Amino acid sequence: MSTAPRLTALDALHRSLGATMTDFAGWDMPLRYASERDEHNAVRTRAGLFDLSHMGEVGVSGPQAAAFLNHALVGNIATVGVGRARYTMIVAEDGGILDDLIVYRLGETEYMVVANAGNAQLVLDTLTERVAGFDAEVRDDRDAYALLAVQGPASPAVLKSVTDADLDGLKYYAGLPGTVAGVPALIARTGYTGEDGFELFVAPEHAEQLWKALTEAGAPHGLVPCGLSCRDTLRLEAGMPLYGHELTTALTPFEAGLGRVVKFEKEGDFVGREALRAAAERAETAPPRKLVGLVARGRRVPRAGFAVVVAGETVGEVTSGAPSPTLGKPIAMAYVDAAHAAPGTEGVAVDIRGTHEPYEVVALPFYKREK
């Protein structure tokens, strides 16, 4: 039985702009409006406007909300100050990654957990299961929010023209309530592009008004609407993992090179602690495959699942690959045996439909903005 894809509050607007739509995690989402390369370059040099309403918001509140999140997630959520956010993960008992998340602390006992679209239901169900015994409540807030993002070097200038919120005082990974273009919003300085930018959580009925106001405010700055396609090339250049590609239930945060998000020193026990302790020790003594960057010497584009080879032997697997508009050549992220993971390692190739195309191993990220 197939269910119709969910539509965001901006669906009609995307279609009126001529967007190419695609099914993404059960949502109908804009893939691109015109040229994905132009959209990508706009975010790198000016500004881009995204509809990210497919992301899954879960509300957590109550006297023991902090203690509960410390138990349910791998990070130390209790130390997040009000108005700040933290990148973290939720894992299974065996340490496998269920999703990577951003947790916003909205008040003393009020949090918002933002999950990836494809994992939102799983995260909601898992948190609901794990809250037993805590004086806290887990809410499905997915229908309470539309999410718009303005990303790129001109994004502060664009947003300043439509809000009197203190954007200069808003640090990276912080969020504050404010009014944007007359619309109440949670303004967060977060993003998935490698650029400065903001994510705006608003009521769905205000989404269209806000999108139009931002489009108008952004016109003098060269802002363009952007789809999922350039979001993927932007995050790939920035070396940011995507669930289902660099992160899966088969990997612990340590194997994904993100062991830093696991906080063993926090108070209280947390789900997956024992398995993660063992994974941390394994990573130190005999590191398994490592996540690396690969830059093509030729023009052919690697895709997820393609084998990484050295002297005809498979030594790894591509997790994400695309042409990089910023570098002007194809790039990929791949898990590669530790012996071949050092930047500059010779003889590494990707098996692209039977041809072993030469690739250079580089440290991630491929692109880092100048602060």
pLDDT digits (tens, 9 = 90+) for 250-289: 999 999 999 999 999 998 899 999 999 999 999 988 878 9
Q: What superfamily would CATH give domain 6-53+145-237?
A: Probable tRNA modification gtpase trme; domain 1 (3.30.1360.120)
Q: Which residues of 13-35 are buried (b: 16+ CB within 10 A; e: fewer)?
A: bbeeeebebeebbebbbbbbbee
The structural domains of the chain, with segments of one domain joined by +, span 6-53+145-237, 289-362
d(CA 192, CA 178): 22
Those residues with Cβ within 8 angstroms of residue 83's Cβ, 6 or more apart along the chain or in another chain:
105, 174, 175, 176
Q: Which pLDDT tens digit goes with each residue over 154-184?
A: 999 999 999 999 999 999 999 999 999 999 9
Q: Which pLDDT tens digit goes with each residue over 192-221?
A: 999 999 999 999 999 999 999 999 999 999
Q: What is the pLDDT of residue 285?
A: 87
Q: Which pLDDT tens digit goes with each residue over 331-344?
A: 999 999 999 999 99
First-residue to last-residue Cα distance in the chain: 50
Q: Is residue 37 scored above 90 in pLDDT?
A: yes
78-to-15, 29, 49, 72, 266 alpha-carbon distances in Å: 43, 35, 33, 12, 9
Which strands make up the sheet holding 224-225, listed edge to edge? 175-180, 183-188, 197-202, 146-151, 48-51, 224-225
Q: Which pLDDT tens digit goes with each residue over 66-118?
A: 999 999 999 999 999 999 999 999 999 999 999 999 999 999 999 999 999 99
3-state secondary structure of 215: helix
Q: Retrieve residue 170's tokens.
A: 């808003």
Q: Is residue 245 scored above 60 in pLDDT?
A: yes
Q: Is residue 1 scored above 60 in pLDDT?
A: no
d(CA 44, CA 325): 10
Q: Is residue 2 scored above 70 in pLDDT?
A: no
The answer to whether the bond into 365 is cis (omega within 30° of 0) is: yes
- Alpha-helical regions (H) of 73-154: 120-130
- Which amino acid belongs to residue 23? D
Would you say the pTM of this structure is higher than 0.85? yes
The architecture in CATH of the region 289-362 reads Beta Barrel (2.40)
d(CA 92, CA 98): 6
For 290, how many CA atoms within 13 A lie in the half-sphere containing its CB? Answer: 17
Looking only at the bridges linking them, the beta strands covering 307-310 and 313-324 are antiparallel
d(CA 195, CA 266): 31
Inter-residue contact 181 to 82 (CB < 8 Å):
no
Average pLDDT across the chain, whole number: 97
Give percent of the chain with pLDDT exceeding 70: 99
Q: What is the pLDDT of residue 336?
A: 98
d(CA 74, CA 270): 7
- Which amino acid belongs to residue 364? L
Q: What is the pLDDT of residue 17?
A: 98
DSSP annotation of 278 reads H
d(CA 162, CA 50): 17
Q: Give Cα 102 distance to the centre of its chain.
A: 9
